[in-house]
């Protein structure tokens, strides 16, 4: 800091006399900085860090809500290892994640590529395609529950093709998980399409044109030029859709019979946490499942980020 920039009066003082006051000013500014960020730190600590830490603590206790938690160490985790419901929920969740990630990535990218082209009334079609994202998932679930009634509109469309007059979309242990996957895809593909579109818009048109001039066809230009440049977008889409899928709860809670039925064929880990905690009063085990789900999501997201960070020839 030059003498000219110091406040009036301070510049005229001898160096030895100024030093302590300057450091006191800096200290004071530092504390003011802390003071300004303190509310956010406290908020984050109280509503993010503390619940996570408390949840982890509860996972090491026997807690039925009506009694104080009793320390049991890792017993809840050991019990879950042998718990049939937990194993079933893991299988259901894996199926739901596979069904609502890979198809979502591909179909949303294809939709984005379609809407990236110029054609008449593109804006209107894009808005219509985006509509499923606007209502809450609860509303979506209720509407689809009506559509998936055994005698509903979907049966009248599909029934004649498969030769059935009644289809138990939600009351068959075979069909119900597929119904959840279809509805989740329907509700989320438009959202990820928008993210892909943003990624496509960020690619300089010169690169695409240069590839075409150099003799590449449209498919080659997409695969060799655009797709590698979409890697950051792909990582985002993959991470967000995977996290959403692992947290699958609302569709299963609202649409399925007996909340996760029939025969627990739609009970995801997130729904099992709710059941264990608030229906069965096994809050310690519910917390243990939460911790496991948290770690799974953390690991999968970390892997996706690591894979997405790998160098590519285009990136250099």
166 vs 209 by CB, closer to other proteins = 166
What residue spans of 4-49 are helical by DSSP H? 15-44
Q: What pairs with residue 71 in β-bridges?
A: 61
272 vs 300 by CB, closer to other proteins = 272
Total binding residues toward other proteins, as defined by CB under 8 A: 27
CA distance 163 to 123: 39
97 vs 283 by CB, closer to other proteins = 283
Among 58, 137, 154, 170, binds other proteins (CB under 8 A): 170
Name the burial class of residue 47, with classes exposed (0-12), middle (13-18) and buried (19+) by CB atoms within 10 angstroms of its CB: exposed
Q: Is residue 165 at the binding interface for other proteins, with CB under 8 A as the rule?
A: yes
Cα 308 from chain centre: 17
Which range binds other proteins by CB under 8 A, 51-59, 62-70, 136-144, 308-316? 62-70
Among 95, 103, 228, 257, binds other proteins (CB under 8 A): 257
267: left (phi over 0), alpha (psi -120 to 50) or beta: beta
Q: Is residue 154 at the binding interface for other proteins, with CB under 8 A as the rule?
A: no
Residues 84-113 that bind other proteins (CB under 8 A): 84
Q: Is residue 173 at the binding interface for other proteins, with CB under 8 A as the rule?
A: yes
Q: Is residue 262 at the binding interface for other proteins, with CB under 8 A as the rule?
A: yes
Residues 272-291 that bind other proteins (CB under 8 A): 275, 278-282
Instruction: Supply angle C-alpha 194, 197, 199, rounded to 5.
Output: 115
Q: Closest by alpha carbon to 71, among 287, 280, 295?
A: 287
Query: How many other CB atoms are found less than 10 A from the CB of residue 168?
Result: 18
Q: Is residue 23 at the binding interface for other proteins, with CB under 8 A as the rule?
A: no
163 vs 215 by CB, closer to other proteins = 163
Residues contacting 97, CB < 8 A, separation 6+: 242, 245, 246, 248
Sites of contact with other proteins (CB under 8 A): 64-67, 84, 149-151, 165-166, 168, 170-173, 257-258, 261-264, 275, 278-282
């Amino acid at each position: 800091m030059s003498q000219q920039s110091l406040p009036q009066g301070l510049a005229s003082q001898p160096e030895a006399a100024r030093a302590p006051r300057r450091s006191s000013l800096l200290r004071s500014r530092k504390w003011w900085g802390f003071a300004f960020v303190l509310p956010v730190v406290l908020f984050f600590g109280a509503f993010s860090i503390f619940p996570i830490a408390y949840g982890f603590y509860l996972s090491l206790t026997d807690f039925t809500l009506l009694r104080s938690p009793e320390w049991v160490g890792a017993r809840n985790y050991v019990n879950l290892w042998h718990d049939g419901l937990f194993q079933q929920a893991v299988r259901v969740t894996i199926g739901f994640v596979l069904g609502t990630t890979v198809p979502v990535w591909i179909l949303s990218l294809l939709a984005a590529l379609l809407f990236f082209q110029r054609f008449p009334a593109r804006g209107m079609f894009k808005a219509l395609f985006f509509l499923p994202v606007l209502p809450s998932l609860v509303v979506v679930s209720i509407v689809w529950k009506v559509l998936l009634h055994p005698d509903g509109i979907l049966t009248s469309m599909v029934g004649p093709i498969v030769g059935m007059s009644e289809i138990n979309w939600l009351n068959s242990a075979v069909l119900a998980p597929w119904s959840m996957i279809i509805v989740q895809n329907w509700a989320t593909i438009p959202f990820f399409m928008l993210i892909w579109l943003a990624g496509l818009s960020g690619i300089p048109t010169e690169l695409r044109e240069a590839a075409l001039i150099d003799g590449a066809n449209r498919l080659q230009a997409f695969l060799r030029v655009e797709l590698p440049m979409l890697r950051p977008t792909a990582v985002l889409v993959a991470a967000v859709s995977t996290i959403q899928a692992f947290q699958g709860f609302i569709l299963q809670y609202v649409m399925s019979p007996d909340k996760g039925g029939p025969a627990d064929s739609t009970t995801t880990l997130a729904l099992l946490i709710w059941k264990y905690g608030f229906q069965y009063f096994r809050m310690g085990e519910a917390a243990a499942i939460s911790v496991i789900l948290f770690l799974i999501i953390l690991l999968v997201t970390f892997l996706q980020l690591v894979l997405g960070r790998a160098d590519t020839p285009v990136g250099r």
